[in-house]
Structure 1
Amino acid sequence: MLVKCYGCGLKIDDTATICPHCGRTSPHISDRRLADAVNDAWTKSGRRVNKTNAGFFAMFLGWLGVHRFYIGKWKSGIFYLLMFFSGVGTIVTIPLSIIESFRFWFMPIDKFKTKYGLE
């Protein structure tokens, strides 16, 4: 069975641990299936992202934008930081991050992957 390489995006054999095209180490397909079972997704850079962890980051450190950085959304993470340091933005970022934490926790993994551009 062929799967997409996380490095270059070309099709490789699912038993291959290294892409013959770009040389990147790729997790086995069984690891990906296991990740789906435990609410994990993969970023485009091949880093694992757990939606439960993202929810906890949003709940407890969301006012700083940590959850946005964790899921790979750097621009919105910087926006959260700027809003927090402006003072007035704290009124906005705290409720938003609490709402996002519940979204992360209760969103199905497939929708989470689609919404945040994960694989």
Structure 2
Amino acid sequence: MRGQVLGVDVTTGDGQISGDDGQRYVFKPDDWNDRVGPSVGALIDFDLDGRNARRIYRQPGSHAVAPAAVRTDRNKVVAALLAFFLGVFGVHRFYLGRIGSGVVMLILTCTVVGVLVTSIWAFVDFIRYLVMSDAEFNARYQQRIA
């Protein structure tokens, strides 16, 4: 049977399909046989097993919409406060998932000149986070799952 993927849970991989017969069917990640994997809007071909879709393949030339972004609990005000109070140690960078620059800041803090450099760096980050729009902050620092 043919159909279209209606939705996919990005955490479990479970999803729902609308079949050409007007019925809805569910699937598990193990039911998907395409190396690309499920995505909302994909046109597919599948076998039926009751209300479950099995042996699912994407139809050639089918395009789909990428799954929606998954939001994390990262907050720009928290990031700004961490930059202001603990910025010389790079804590705000670790908080935002920028591990590499956080490690650099932490190592630089071990020297007198490094403390001056990381102090300025952290203060610039503090100001940047405060003046940055919420949309730009989310685009830069929120984790996305494709």
Structure holding more helix per residue: 1
**Aligned residue number for residue 32 of structure 1:** none
1:100 aligns with 2:125: yes
2:87 to 41, 58, 62: 62
Q: What's the TM-score once normalised by structure 2's chain length? A: 0.51
Q: Deviations over 1:10-44 (max 9, x none)?
A: 6968xxxxxx549xxxxxxxxxxxxxxxxxx83xx
Q: Percent identity?
A: 29
* Cα distance in 2, alignment partners of residues 104 and 4 from structure 1: 32
Q: Which runs of 5+ in 1 are unaligned?
A: 14-19, 23-40
* Cα distance in 2, alignment partners of residues 11 and 55 from structure 1: 37
Q: How far apart are residue 117 of structure 1 and its match?
A: 5.4
Q: Provide the alpha-carbon RMSD of the alignment.
A: 2.8
Structure holding more strand per residue: 2
* Cα distance in 1, alignment partners of residues 94 and 113 from structure 2: 21
Structure 1 consecutive aligned stretches of length 4 or more whose deviation exceeds 6 Å: none
Larger radius of gyration: 2
Correspondence list, 1:79-94, <5 A = 79-94=104-119
Amino acid paired to 1:116: Y
SS of the aligned residue for 1:48 comes to: coil
Q: Which runs of 5+ in 2 are unaligned?
A: 1-5, 17-27, 31-69
Q: What's the TM-score once normalised by structure 1's chain length? A: 0.61
